[in-house]
Amino acid sequence: MYKYVLKIKCSDAKGLIYKISNVLYKNDLNIEKNSEYVDNENRKFFFRARLDGTIDTDKIKDELQLEMPKDAKITLTKKVKKQIVVLATRESHCLGDILLKHDSDELNADVLCVVSNHDELRPLCERFGIKYHFIASDNLKRVEHEEKVLEVLGNYKIDFIILAKYMRILSKNFVSEYKQKIVNIHHSFLPAFVGANPYKQAYKRGVKIIGATAHFVNNNLDEGPIIAQDVIGVNHEQSWRDMQKAGKNVEKTVLSNALDLVFNDRIFVHQNKTIIF
């Protein structure tokens, strides 16, 4: 089983694979799997390899940096569990799925705590022995509430923040504090039905499929880089509440699939899109 993940993003040029594999070969590293992609339109090169063996990561990175184009961004990270905080509101299905997988050690992450603007989910978290921070938003301006949330988050060393049906829009300031570290699950197949009440929108439009989208959060509502999507069929007999109920299994599965990719360092973000190896 691999112990390190090497990721390289740089301008495309001839011989990059040769140069990378040369460095790895000379250092006697075992490459379990490598993947590469060239964005021909933007002349960008993306590379990921899973490495085994005992590694002097600084040495390898230095040697690679010398061989790669000057704009190369190289990361060589040990495979460790990510440290995550989950934000949620009232719905339990996505949070519950995360807690279950965490409990059975299938998540590849440690859940540090759960933060919510409501108190309903406290018993669920306590069942699993997870610290619960209830930060009410009543009578608070968005920025005031966010400051309180940020203060709590400041107490943790966080790799990723998971919005597991967190029903509040994050400000630019909040997002910039955790750039490309926030994963959201949106209850529609984006870009259809951005914003509030996508199931009502879907019902009103009379679509025959509904879906869910997991994406990184950026400054524009529901417009961040998409990680995973899926859909299920619906029909005229289903009210928007029926759709909402049917959508829950899709939401949690899509989020679960996205978290697997995120927590295993399988994603590059480039020009508001994800490249997934």
Q: Which residues 233-272 are close enough to bind a copy of itself by CB under 8 A? A: 233, 235-237, 239, 245, 248-249, 253, 256-257, 272
Q: Which residues contact 79 (CB under 8 A, 6 or more apart)?
A: 2, 3, 4, 5, 264, 265
Q: Return the residue of 67, 147, 177, 230 that touches a copy of itself, per CB under 8 A.
A: 230
Using CA atoms, how far apart are residues 70 and 36, in angstroms rounded to an integer? 18
Complete DSSP assignment for 129-166? T--EEE---TT--HHHHHHHHHHHHTTS--SEEEESS-
Q: Return the residue of 78, 104, 138, 139 that touches a copy of itself, per CB under 8 A.
A: 104
| Angle between helix 240-263 and helix 93-103 axes, rounded to 10 deg | 40
Q: Which residues 84-103 are close enough to bind a copy of itself by CB under 8 A? A: 92-93, 96-97, 100, 103
Shortest Å, Cβ 9 to a copy of itself: 13
Shortest Å, Cβ 120 to a copy of itself: 9
Shortest Å, Cβ 261 to a copy of itself: 11
Q: Return the residue of 190, 217, 243, 259 that touches a copy of itself, per CB under 8 A.
A: 190
Distances from the Cα of 99 to the Cα of 31, 52, 154, 246, angstroms: 33, 30, 22, 21
Q: Which stretch binds a copy of itself (CB under 8 A): 2-10, 19-27, 69-77, 169-177?
A: 19-27
Q: Contact residues for a copy of itself (CB under 8 A)?
A: 14-15, 17-18, 21-22, 24-25, 28, 30-34, 36-38, 41, 92-93, 96-97, 100, 103-104, 106, 124, 127-128, 189-193, 205-209, 211, 225-231, 233, 235-237, 239, 245, 248-249, 253, 256-257, 272-276
